[in-house]
Chains A and B, each alone.
Chain A
Amino acid sequence: MIEVKNLVKRYGNHCAVDHLSFTVEDGQVFGLLGPNGAGKSTTMNIMTGYLAATEGDVLIQGHNILEEPEAARKCVGYLPEIPPLYPDMTVLEYLRFCAELKKLPAERRKEDLDEVLSLTHLNGQAERLIRNLSKGYRQRVGLAQAILGFPPIIILDEPTVGLDPKQVVEIRSLIRHLAKEHTVLLSSHILSEIRAMCDHVLILRKGKVMACDTPEALEEKLSAGGALELSVRGSAEAVRSTVLTVDGITSCEAQQEGDTVKMMISADGDAREALFYAFAQARQPILEMRPKTATLEEVFLDLTDEDDAVAAQAAALLADTPDEAAVQTTDAEQEGTGDESDL
Chain B
Amino acid sequence: MKAIYKREVQSYFNSMIGWMFTAALTAFIGIYFMAYNLFQGDAYFSTALGATLFVLMVLVPILTMRSMAEERRSRTDQLLLTAPASVTAVVMGKYLAMLTVLACPLAIACLCPLIIHFNGTAFLLSDYASILAFFLLGAAEIAVGLLISALTESQVLSAVGTFGLLLVLYLWDGLVAYLPSTAGGSLAGLLVILALVCFLVNALSSNWKVTAAVFVAGAAAIIGGYIAASDRFAGLLPDMLGRFSLLGAFDSFSVDHVFDVRGILLYLSLIALLVFLTVQVVQKRRWN
Interface residues, chain A, CB within 8 Å of chain B?
A: 45, 48-52, 69-71, 73-74, 76, 78, 80, 82, 84-89, 93, 97-98, 100-103, 145
Query: Which of B72-80, B165-173, B251-259 is near enough to bind chain A?
Result: B72-80
Question: Are A100 and B84 in contact, CB atoms less than 8 angstroms apart?
Answer: no
Per-residue 0/1 for B82-103: is the Cβ within 8 Å of any A Cβ (1 yes, 0 no)?
1111100000000000000000
User: A49 vs B79: C-alpha distance in the bound complex, in angstroms?
Assistant: 11
**A50-B286, A84-B76 known; A73+B3 contact, CB < 8 A:** no
Query: Which of B7-15, B46-54, B112-120, B141-149 is near enough to bind chain A?
Result: B7-15
B81 within 8 A of A: yes
Contacts of B85 in A (CB 8 A): 70, 101, 103
Question: Are A84 and B287 in contact, CB atoms less than 8 angstroms apart?
Answer: no
Question: Are A85 and B76 in contact, CB atoms less than 8 angstroms apart?
Answer: yes
> Which parts of B33-78 form the interface with A (CB within 8 Å)?
74-78
Q: Main SS of the interface on chain B?
A: helix
User: A80 vs B75: C-alpha distance in the bound complex, in angstroms?
Assistant: 9
Closest A residue, CB atoms, query B4 = A101
Question: Are A84 and B79 in contact, CB atoms less than 8 angstroms apart?
Answer: yes
Question: Are A49 and B75 in contact, CB atoms less than 8 angstroms apart?
Answer: no
List 16 A-B pairs, Cβ < 8 Å.
Answer: A49-B81, A52-B286, A69-B86, A78-B82, A80-B82, A82-B78, A86-B7, A86-B11, A88-B11, A89-B7, A89-B11, A93-B10, A97-B6, A98-B79, A100-B3, A101-B80
Question: Are A84 and B84 in contact, CB atoms less than 8 angstroms apart?
Answer: no
Among A49, A82, A100, A145, contact of B2 (Cβ-Cβ < 8 Å): A100
Which of A84, A97, A102 has the most CB atoms of chain B within a 10 A radius of its CB? A84
Among B6, B10, B78, contact of A84 (Cβ-Cβ < 8 Å): B78
Contacts of A88 in B (CB 8 A): 11, 14-15
Q: How many residues of B contact A (CB 8 A)?
A: 24
User: A88 vs B66: C-alpha distance in the bound complex, in angstroms?
Assistant: 13
User: A76 vs B11: C-alpha distance in the bound complex, in angstroms?
Assistant: 27
Closest A residue, CB atoms, query B93 = A101
Question: Are A97 and B82 in contact, CB atoms less than 8 angstroms apart?
Answer: no
Contacts of A145 in B (CB 8 A): 79
Question: Are A70 and B84 in contact, CB atoms less than 8 angstroms apart?
Answer: yes
User: A145 vs B286: C-alpha distance in the bound complex, in angstroms?
Assistant: 22
Question: Are B81 and A97 in contact, CB atoms less than 8 angstroms apart?
Answer: no
Q: Which 3 A-B pairs have the closest CB atoms?
A: A100-B3, A84-B79, A52-B286
Contacts of A93 in B (CB 8 A): 10
* Smallest CB separation, B239 vs chain A (Å): 43
User: A51 vs B284: C-alpha distance in the bound complex, in angstroms?
Assistant: 10
Contacts of A50 in B (CB 8 A): 78, 81-82, 286
**A97-B3, A97-B7 known; A86+B84 contact, CB < 8 A:** no
> Which parts of B156-208 form the interface with A (CB within 8 Å)?
none
Q: A76-B82, A86-B76 are in contact. List 5 more A-B contacts (CB 8 A).
A: A69-B84, A70-B86, A74-B84, A82-B78, A84-B76
User: A80 vs B83: C-alpha distance in the bound complex, in angstroms?
Assistant: 12
Contacts of B79 in A (CB 8 A): 80, 84, 98, 101, 145
Contacts of B82 in A (CB 8 A): 48-50, 73, 76, 78, 80
* Smallest CB separation, B217 vs chain A (Å): 29
Which of B10, B74, B83 has the most CB atoms of chain A within a 10 A radius of its CB? B83
Contacts of B4 in A (CB 8 A): 101
* Smallest CB separation, B5 vs chain A (Å): 10
Contacts of A100 in B (CB 8 A): 2-3, 6
Question: Are A102 and B83 in contact, CB atoms less than 8 angstroms apart?
Answer: yes
User: A84 vs B2: C-alpha distance in the bound complex, in angstroms?
Assistant: 19
Contacts of B83 in A (CB 8 A): 73, 98, 101-102
Closest B residue, CB atoms, query A142 = B79
Contacts of A69 in B (CB 8 A): 84, 86
Contacts of B11 in A (CB 8 A): 86, 88-89
Closest B residue, CB atoms, query A51 = B286
Contacts of B286 in A (CB 8 A): 49-52
User: A45 vs B7: C-alpha distance in the bound complex, in angstroms?
Assistant: 24
Among B3, B78, B287, contact of A52 (Cβ-Cβ < 8 Å): B287
User: A45 vs B81: C-alpha distance in the bound complex, in angstroms?
Assistant: 10
Contacts of A82 in B (CB 8 A): 75, 78
Contacts of A76 in B (CB 8 A): 82
Contacts of A102 in B (CB 8 A): 83-84
Per-residue 0/1 for B206-250: is the Cβ within 8 Å of any A Cβ (1 yes, 0 no)?
000000000000000000000000000000000000000000000
Contacts of B287 in A (CB 8 A): 52
* Smallest CB separation, B28 vs chain A (Å): 27
Contacts of A97 in B (CB 8 A): 3, 6-7
* Smallest CB separation, B182 vs chain A (Å): 45
User: A98 vs B78: C-alpha distance in the bound complex, in angstroms?
Assistant: 12
Closest A residue, CB atoms, query B11 = A88
